[in-house]
Chain A
Amino acid sequence: MNNIEHYPVLTIVVLLATAFVVPVLYKKQKLITWLFLGAGAVSFWFALGTAARVMSTGTFASVLGSWPVPFGIELQVDALGAFTSLVFATLALPIFWHAAMTAKKEVGSVSGYFTLLLLLTAALHGIVLTGDIFNMFVFIEISSLAAVAIIAIKLTKESIEASFRYLVLSALGSGGILFAIALIFMITGHLNMEFIYETLLSTAGHYPLNVTTAIGFMLVGFGVKAALFPLHVWLPDAHSNAPTASSAILSGLVVKAYIVGFIRLVYLAFGTEIFLSLPLRPILLTMATAAILIGSLFALAQGDLKRLLAFSTVAQVGYIFLGFALFGERALQGAFLHILNHALMKGALFLSAGVIIQQTGAKKLSQISGLGRRLPITFGVFTIGVLSMIGIPGFAGFVSKLYLALGALDQDLVPFAIVILISSLLNAVYYLPIITNAFFGKDTELQGAADPPWPTRLPMLILGGGVVLLGLYPALALPLVRQAASLLFR
């Protein structure tokens, strides 16, 4: 396999190309479904190859169209990018599958929905793989617009309102990022991250205001898009009103791409020295802590299943930022692991919640009573997700919490370990009653409901199984995560 350096590009191109083929063939439903799933599978294969290459030989660059840098665009494939890209490709498979099974019922235009999902996933891979900041901006724009569209595609009043709010705030964020890119270009004259880094080494001292402003705008821009508290206001409406597959992709993958994008900018373009010289760590720590605690508290007050899951995402994003801001080796490993683990468990939760809503029509927590006996498998998956969220050992969520807590103690910051504990407790308080009520509560009028047929069951079962597998055998993900965390300490 001597052409493996093209794999990262192919991961993106396969998805992008299929996105353009699908609408053309919109009349052949069966064919486009297979194309859609096939593209997901092929891009997964390429992502796997990329990850294998990074594991064996380390970071490599992949130049597009043989245009030499700094004029051409290159993909800077490092362990973090390859890892996140692999996470996206892996998670996209079951979620695409679920989308293919349910799209007809949930959204109006099936081919449109598939196109948007493909575009979105392609852009997400782009964000975490590219080595060029303007290229990154383009991918961010694609993903933002596609993300807005996969919410609005449900065409209900709430979803259109939610997507509009998302669009406005996301556009503000994009503006911030673009402005930051302009500032950086002004000082360095480069868009390639490697070159920016080298130029900044000598010029950053002369333009302290530019650098600070640029990082500030970056933080706000990415913060809005990643829903970092208090910039999260759009998320609960957007994630809860979207179709199920969209919710899973938005909560599980999209917010992560922006976090990873930000982290990559910090160490690839700015360099960690500049990051640490500014008071960014305390700011991020404060925001992350607030996100974790307040996100969980808000979730506590929700009566709607999907809104509850959405608020829980706000808290979980806080975990990842917390791990990053603690800035120790183990804390970073925890943060990166949590990108994977949270995608798995939130995916399992959203898919099973979607199945519950689809099979029974129960959207409110109060309607769930007794349904666990009717839908044992669906609620079984939901239970796995919940136990993992709380951090019960044997489930994936425990492992990332373990690393995050160790990371906090490494820095001698015991309070942050306690923040993790409090949030886990809050998770238990708002998640567990759902399950106990479903399995042991009194029967309600929704009696005829049953588990869905096997093809719809499988995607959520795969995600639930992934949660258990990574909980019992985290060594599957650890080598790449370790390599990714060490990147920030070069």
Chain B
Amino acid sequence: MQNTSMVPVYAVLIPLLTTVVIYLIERRSWQWRNRLSTLACLGSFLVVISQYQAIQQGSTLVAKYPTIMPPLGLSFRMDSLGFLAAAVISGVWFLVTVYATEYMAKEHHKNRFYPFLVLTLAGAMGVVLSGDLFTFFLSFELMSLSAYVLVVHEETEEAMKAGYKYLILTIVGGLALFFAIVAVFELAGTVAFVPGGLIKEPSRLALFAFIGFFIGFGIKAGIVPLHVWLPEAHPVAPSPASALLSGLMLKTGAYGLLRVVFDIFDYRAIQAAGWNQALLVFAAITIIMGSAVAITQDDIKRRLAYSSVGQMGYILLGIGLLQERALIGVIFHIFAHALMKSTLFLSAGAIIYRTGKRKVSEWAGLGREMPLTFLAFTAAAFSMIGIPPMVGFVSKWELGLGALDAGNWGFVVLLLLSSLLNFVYYFPAIQAAFFGGGHGHGEQVNSKRDVSLTMLWPMITMAVMIVLIDLWPRNVALELAEKAAHTFFVIAK
């Protein structure tokens, strides 16, 4: 059921237009700059979730503007997958922006940071609410390029170097996507996302397009070996930006891949041609590599960044299985990992903000000094390891079942192995923080050293969601994921 509705457009326009307003007023009032930045995210979030009822009833909200950029035209579309992704992105963005108003207070160039923070949100919302590949591409480039300003915010030599790598790989990814989109247009005469897909037959050009999509989204999502920019760019950004980059923007790559596999290609054509096998191989490499390298990192932000690489492997794995249950896991993991990784980066940021200690090996005893921050960190870390009833467990469960449905128990072993690796690199940090540091430190416990409430409540909110969402009688996110996965498979038949 398709309904014409401006809601997806508003969700994009609110941050886009607020960027302009922020740019105009920021020199006069920093309070209003901060307020408007948070309000833009909140506004976008509220606009999205106001449509919950409609999405729940199975309608798809569509807005089309074919005359704006012919021959491709702009269009926006919100279905259950788009709704879930848009809600997560704008919601987490709001929390991170609240956190940033305190975290960034002592930083330089804030008048550059906030407009670009909000502009990047506009791009990210456009990505998940686009109705065709072209609008998707436009938003994708807007998001990626404006995120560059967040990455190089510190302007140190290290940041500039990481930023350059990020920029060039973003362009490479953009060009690969460009080629793929042109190929799709050539093959199908349109680039709209259509349930059931446009390309039903594998051909040489279709394969090129598929490779183009894989490179383009793989770079964004940090799939090994296209991940080289990620472990450098994510840690050098200010912590709120790292949270957004790792927690949310990586997901747009996964989201794009989902859309392409199911709404541009007919997934059965991909299955028949065996292209998903390649996805599975890359997924396995990514999971193992990401987790294994994470263990060797002492810098917490680098460790978290490598962990994100491993987690994106899960998502790729689930897509590659082309199987309904695995897909539920994928979609739910997009949601779950956004919460977990954002919480981890925010709490790590709070620790660095307060103590300046980036190295995990220096964390001994800190947990007693900053208990609430570390509680949030612990909740998210346990969820990453996959301890029930946290959200991370649910996605692993669904993915594992999906792998079994597909008759691939090898992947279940892989998931377990990866959980073990997660344990290896998260648990010692927590253990040292709460119980390490010897007795001398224990006596100087000073709970006032925890960060202020403005920084605390966004983390705590997300940590509570991580723990409670699955204990709630109705897991709304899981319902939406099931619905989205179901549509992909049912409509195709």
A residues sitting closer than 8 Å to B (CB atoms) are 387, 390-394, 399, 401-402, 405-406, 409-410, 414, 417-418, 421, 424-425, 428-429, 432-433, 436, 440-441, 472-475, 478
Contacts and interface: CB of A to CB of B under 8 A. Distances in A.
Given A425-B175, A436-B152, A440-B160, A414 B70 contact: no
Contact of A440 (B67, B137, B152, B179): B152
14 contacts: A387-B145, A390-B171, A392-B141, A393-B138, A394-B142, A405-B179, A406-B186, A409-B183, A429-B168, A432-B167, A432-B168, A436-B152, A436-B160, A440-B152
B285 interface: no
Contacts of B423: none
- For the complex of A and B, the 6 pairs showing the least CB-CB separation, nearest first, are A428-B171, A409-B186, A405-B182, A393-B138, A421-B175, A440-B155
B179 A418 contact: yes
Main secondary structure of the interface of B (DSSP, over half): helix
B196 interface: no
Interface centre among B72, B134, B175, B205 (most CB of A within 10 A): B175
Nearest to A423: B175
Given A392-B141, A392-B145, A394-B141, 5 more contacts: A393-B137, A409-B186, A414-B205, A424-B175, A478-B70
Contact of A414 (B164, B171, B208): B208
A402 B137 CA distance: 13
A70 to B, nearest CB: 41
B185 interface: yes
Nearest to A427: B171
Contacts of B176: 421
B238 interface: no
B272 interface: no
A407 to B, nearest CB: 10
B145 A475 contact: no
A416 to B, nearest CB: 12
Contacts, number: 75
A401 B179 CA distance: 10
A394 B126 CA distance: 14
A26 to B, nearest CB: 46
A473 to B, nearest CB: 7
B152 A405 contact: no
Interface size class of B (residues with CB under 8 A): 20 to 34
Contacts of A429: 168
Interface string B279-296: 000000000000000000
Nearest to A424: B175
A410 B208 CA distance: 15
Contacts of B155: 440
Interface centre among B176, B178, B185 (most CB of A within 10 A): B178
Contact of A473 (B69, B174, B183, B186): B69
A433 B168 CA distance: 10
B163 interface: yes
A478 B69 CA distance: 11
B141 A393 contact: yes
Nearest to B183: A409
A252 B452 CA distance: 57
B179 A428 contact: no
Interface in B116-158: 134, 137-138, 141-142, 145, 148, 152, 155
A441 B163 CA distance: 12
A405 B183 CA distance: 9
A474 B70 contact: yes
B174 A475 contact: no
Given A406-B182, A440-B160, A473 B208 contact: no
A433 B164 contact: yes
A402 B70 contact: no
B464 interface: no
B18 to A, nearest CB: 19
Interface in B40-84: 67-70, 72
B408 to A, nearest CB: 34
Given A433-B164, A440-B160, A473 B68 contact: yes
B172 interface: yes
Interface centre among A391, A409, A441, A474 (most CB of B within 10 A): A409
A399 B71 CA distance: 10
A475 B72 CA distance: 11
B100 to A, nearest CB: 19
Contact of A417 (B171, B174, B182): B182
A324 B182 CA distance: 19
Nearest to B135: A393
Nearest to A395: B141
Contact of A425 (B141, B142, B171): B171
Nearest to A410: B186
A409 B182 contact: yes
Nearest to A399: B69
Contacts of B67: 475
Contacts of B142: 394
Contact of B69 (A406, A417, A425, A474): A474
A467 to B, nearest CB: 14
Contacts of A440: 152, 155, 160, 163
Contacts of B182: 402, 405-406, 409, 417
A61 to B, nearest CB: 32
Nearest to B153: A440
Contact of A409 (B148, B152, B205): B205
A475 B69 CA distance: 7
B400 to A, nearest CB: 39
